Structure 1
């Protein structure tokens, strides 16, 4: 079996950062999860359904990742390992936090780790950003789908509107619907211009 980045997906250029769960150190900092002694379970969801979870425990100079994974429908395997942290000074004071990629032989300073068997940087998994592999109309459709996910609507811009999420302010809802519709209209116009009949 191959290691990180092996397999057909990379050979055919299929995997992007959007295909993987991720942990962003900037989000951890904002949530206070880098303070020593803090432990918290975080989850990922899509369309309102939880798709994964991980426990993050903060210690001086590192975080401990604790989760389970399985390869291709096999048995669940527990994983627990440290990811060391680094800081760099900011020009206007303070420091910026970084993960040191835990993949063997890497150690690259990164803000985001992507999950597979282990959490590692996008370079170790050889991931491109979604925007590097898509047409402009695809990018607009993806932005519309992100708004649909935030609103709890069914994915796919041709599925029409859904209801306003409970607890969301009407002003926020109306702004998001307006952004969604602008992305859909622009994406459809570009798709038609490119593939439509002449």
Structure 2
């Protein structure tokens, strides 16, 4: 055997991190699952239905992952292997925990592992963040909506603005956010028009 990840197909360039189940070491820490001897089953669900599960057991300096997986509708195969941990000091004291990616030849220090045949870092799976797959107009709309949330305005650039300054916000901050929102909305609307023109064959 060539080790964890040997013989696997890693070139998934079109996928994003949202397409994969994930384990976040920060969540494990908050849940007390990094304490030695703790064992717990973790499940993922979608639409109220369980879509996957894994058993995590903590040992000194590592976690043991135990689960089943199948490749492209094949037979279910058991997987059980260690993921080693590392720590770095925090500026205000204490330490920050990290996974060491278990894929063969990697060993990157990461906070999140993504589950395919094995759990590995996003670099090994060549995963992009969803925002990296967005078109410029979609990205502008998302950023404008984030400003609308901060302002307490109704969601969606088609709702228009300005819906008023939030209580307690300085006028200078409010005016700056309004200018930024309007510029992003204009960019998003141009993207929408370009998309509609392409669909209608006029572009």
Same fold judged by TM-score > 0.5?
A: yes
2:90 is aligned with 1:115: no
Question: Which protein is bigger by CA-based radius of gyration?
Answer: 2
Asked whether the 8 Å contact 2:137–2:192 carries over to 1, the reply is no
Q: Deviations over 1:27-55 (max 9, x none)?
A: 10011110111111111112222111111
Structure 1 unaligned runs (5+)? 144-174
- Give the one of 6, 10, 21 matched to 1:5: 10
Residue 128 of structure 2 corresponds to which residue in structure 1?
Answer: 128
2:57 is aligned with 1:62: no
1:38-49 aligned within 5 A: 38-49=38-49
Distance 1:133 1:33, change over 3 A: same
Q: Secondary structure at the match of 1:15?
A: coil
Instruction: State the shift of 1:195 in Å.
Output: 2.5
Q: What CA RMSD, in Å, does the superposition of the two structures yield over aligned residues?
A: 2.9
Structure 2 unaligned runs (5+)? 1-5, 144-148, 160-184
Distance 1:90 1:135, change over 3 A: same
1:1-198 aligned within 5 A: 2-6=7-11, 9-10=12-13, 14-136=14-136, 138=138, 181-182=155-156, 189=189, 192-196=192-196
Q: Secondary structure at the match of 1:29?
A: helix
Separation in 2 of the partners of 1:129 and 1:93?
30
Instruction: State the shift of 1:179 in Å.
Output: 8.2
Per the normalisation by structure 1, the TM-score is 0.70
Q: Deviations over 1:71-100 (max 9, x none)?
A: 000000000111000000001100000000
Q: Secondary structure at the match of 1:67?
A: strand
Per the normalisation by structure 2, the TM-score is 0.68
Separation in 2 of the partners of 1:184 and 1:73?
43
Instruction: State the shift of 1:136 in Å.
Output: 4.8
Residue 149 of structure 1 corresponds to which residue in structure 2?
Answer: none
